[in-house]
Amino acid sequence: MSEKIYWNHPYKKEFKAKITSIEEQGIILDRTAFYPEGGGQLSDQGKIIHNEDIFDVINVYNMKDQIIHQLKGGFQEKLNVGDMVRGIIDWDWRYGLMKAHTSQHLFSATLKKFYDVNTDKAYIGYENVTIEIDGKISYDQLKKVLKEINQIFSIKNIPISSKTIDKSEMVGYKNEIRGDIQLKDKIRLVVSKNYDMVCCGGTHLENSTEIGMIFIYEFRSGNKIKYYLGSKALDNVSEINLELIESMDLVNQPFYELKPVINNLSEKIETLELKNESISAEFLRLLSKNPNAKIGETKLFLLKLELDDKLIQQIFNIFPNESLLIITSEKKIMIFSNSNIISARSLIKSFIDDFGGKGGGSDFRAQALLNKLPQDILNYINGLFSED
Ligand SMILES: [Zn+2]
């Protein structure tokens, strides 16, 4: 089994090792600093160098207690068992994952400490973390967690270390460990001093302040939190900062007044929508008494307005028998018919045939988006029926 350099020396970016086996997918080394995918942490990437040959390490994974370094391009012809090689870790990638991974431990620990909620699932990506908890918290609670976390990630330094203990030593730690306990002979504990202890086989930072400020970009249903780290977090903080200033200018209020202003505005919009609906309904009721024209027994009602479909459908019930209601807005045309003579569908079809466009419907209700509307709809319809 390969020596796991990444456990005791997580900051090692380069190392020398001997090839112990060459497999179909890649090589096995006697020691490695490449972290294999597992425990929620993505695999390392980097390069393996032998003399003049450089191979990209595209994936590293565990297979039957062995760590396979998956290499790109013709390594089987160029490498032999026993060769000494140099490994170089893609440090930007790994350090981003280490920050994300360590931040997740501390975030979950804070959630547990403050509100006794456990982390159900965690996704750890490069500068990106998702945490799902087994309970619900409020915005105010999340605000308290975020304040604490940003202090720990930027100012209040917590040292982080790891140790491997025997199963028999577990008794002493059992009550201190947060989360699942691995049932293995050797157990690796990751300790954030005076703050958190978990069983974990990943790579971690030495100090919490290496993480830096985070930026929560999504909080759903009180139990799913998504945040950015590193450059992504800082870019978002800078952008939102200025967006906020602009929004404050827009409503001429300090930032703590923005939420009440938005609440107030949405209440006003809701009231206006209700008013608009009742005015439209009243308008349709009046219209139902005054047809614009008649074709034989059919009464024609014309309206140029943007209206809610459901509302029209509702009010159309009070229109007299043998009515045809035609509503246009820009290039859209809607026809409602309770006539036994004129079908909404056939009339829409005539419009499409003559003016181009798409649409359809039933005898009672049809609509279309036309390429253009006729100049005079009444005249056009009259023409249709006088030709018959
Ligand atoms: Zn970990």
Task: Kindly report, residue by residue over 212-239, the tens digit of the pLDDT.
Answer: 999 999 999 999 999 999 999 999 999 9
Backbone φ and ψ of 12, nearest 5°: -75, 125
CA of 35 to the centre of ligand 1 (A): 12
> Tens digit of pLDDT for each residue in 23-39?
998 999 999 999 999 87
Apex CA 136: angle with CA 228 and CA 194, to 5°? 65
CA of 10 to the centre of ligand 1 (A): 12
- Indicate if 142 and 82 belong to the same structural domain: no
What percent of the chain lies above the pLDDT cut of 90? 74
Does 9 fall in a domain? yes
CA of 97 to the centre of ligand 1 (A): 11
Comparing 80 with 308, which gets the higher pLDDT?
80
Closest CA to 335 of 300, 366, 313, 371: 366
- Indicate if 226 and 288 belong to the same structural domain: no
Cα 79 to its chain centre, rounded Å, is 43
- Indicate if 291 and 378 belong to the same structural domain: yes
pLDDT at 151 over 80: yes
CA of 4 to the centre of ligand 1 (A): 15
Tokens of 24: 């179909």
- Indicate if 170 and 107 belong to the same structural domain: yes
- Looking at residues 245-268, what average pLDDT do you find? 91
Q: How far apart are CA 71 and CA 76, in angstroms?
A: 10
CA of 101 to the centre of ligand 1 (A): 6
CATH code for the domain of 52: 2.40.30.130
pLDDT at 386 over 80: no
Q: How far apart are CA 212 and CA 282, in angstroms?
A: 59
Of 89, 106, 137, the residue that ends a domain is 89
CA of 109 to the centre of ligand 1 (A): 12
Per-residue confidence band for 147, with pLDDT thresholds at 50, 70 and 90: very high
pLDDT given for residue 387 in this prediction: 56
Does 263 fall in a domain? no
> Between 309-316 and 258-287, two packed helices, what is the crossing angle to 10 degrees?
30
- Indicate if 229 and 147 belong to the same structural domain: yes
pLDDT at 205 over 70: yes
Give the three-class secondary structure for 220. Answer: strand
> Tens digit of pLDDT for each residue in 315-350?
899 999 999 999 998 889 999 999 988 999 999 999
CA of 183 to the centre of ligand 1 (A): 16
CA of 285 to the centre of ligand 1 (A): 68
**β-pair type (31-32, 3-4):** parallel
CA of 200 to the centre of ligand 1 (A): 5
pLDDT at 182 over 80: no
- Indicate if 292 and 210 belong to the same structural domain: no
CA of 9 to the centre of ligand 1 (A): 14
Does 349 fall in a domain? yes
Of 204, 228, 250, the residue that ends a domain is 250
CA of 332 to the centre of ligand 1 (A): 58
Plot region of 51 (φ>0 → left; ψ -120 to 50 → alpha; else → beta)? left
Other Cβ atoms less than 10 A from the Cβ of 379: the count is 11
CA of 302 to the centre of ligand 1 (A): 69
Mean pLDDT of the chain: 92
Tokens of 93: 């990638």
CA of 190 to the centre of ligand 1 (A): 7
Does 135 fall in a domain? yes
Q: How far apart are CA 162 and CA 106, in angstroms?
A: 14
Residues in CB range of 235: below 8 A, 6 or more apart: none
Range of the domain at 139: 95-250
Q: Quote the number of domains for the chain.
A: 3
CA of 48 to the centre of ligand 1 (A): 26
CA of 28 to the centre of ligand 1 (A): 24
What percent of the chain lies above the pLDDT cut of 70? 99
- Looking at residues 352-380, what average pLDDT do you find? 93
Does 273 fall in a domain? no
- Indicate if 34 and 145 belong to the same structural domain: no
Range from 125-134, 175-184, 243-252 carrying the lowest mean pLDDT: 175-184
Closest CA to 94 of 162, 216, 9: 9
CA of 355 to the centre of ligand 1 (A): 66
- Looking at residues 275-279, what average pLDDT do you find? 90
- Looking at residues 265-269, what average pLDDT do you find? 94
Residues in CB range of 112: below 8 A, 6 or more apart: 118, 119, 178
Apex CA 294: angle with CA 292 and CA 298, to 5°? 115
pLDDT at 388 over 70: no
Element (H, E) at 119: strand 119-125
8 Å CB contact between 141 and 114: yes
- Indicate if 235 and 129 belong to the same structural domain: yes
pLDDT given for residue 39 in this prediction: 79
CA of 106 to the centre of ligand 1 (A): 10
Does 257 fall in a domain? no
- Indicate if 239 and 143 belong to the same structural domain: yes
> Tens digit of pLDDT for each residue in 341-352?
899 999 999 999
- Looking at residues 92-99, what average pLDDT do you find? 95
B/e letters for 157-178, b = 16+ CB within 10 Å, e = fewer, are: ebebebeeeeeeebeebeeebb
- Indicate if 338 and 297 belong to the same structural domain: yes
> Tens digit of pLDDT for each residue in 36-92?
998 788 999 999 999 999 999 999 999 888 999 999 988 999 999 999 999 999 999
CA of 288 to the centre of ligand 1 (A): 71
Does 268 fall in a domain? no
Does 15 fall in a domain? yes
CA of 238 to the centre of ligand 1 (A): 29
Residues in CB range of 102: below 8 A, 6 or more apart: 160, 204, 205, 208, 210, 211
pTM for the structure as a whole? 0.76
- Indicate if 184 and 285 belong to the same structural domain: no
Of 61, 89, 117, the residue that ends a domain is 89
CA of 44 to the centre of ligand 1 (A): 15
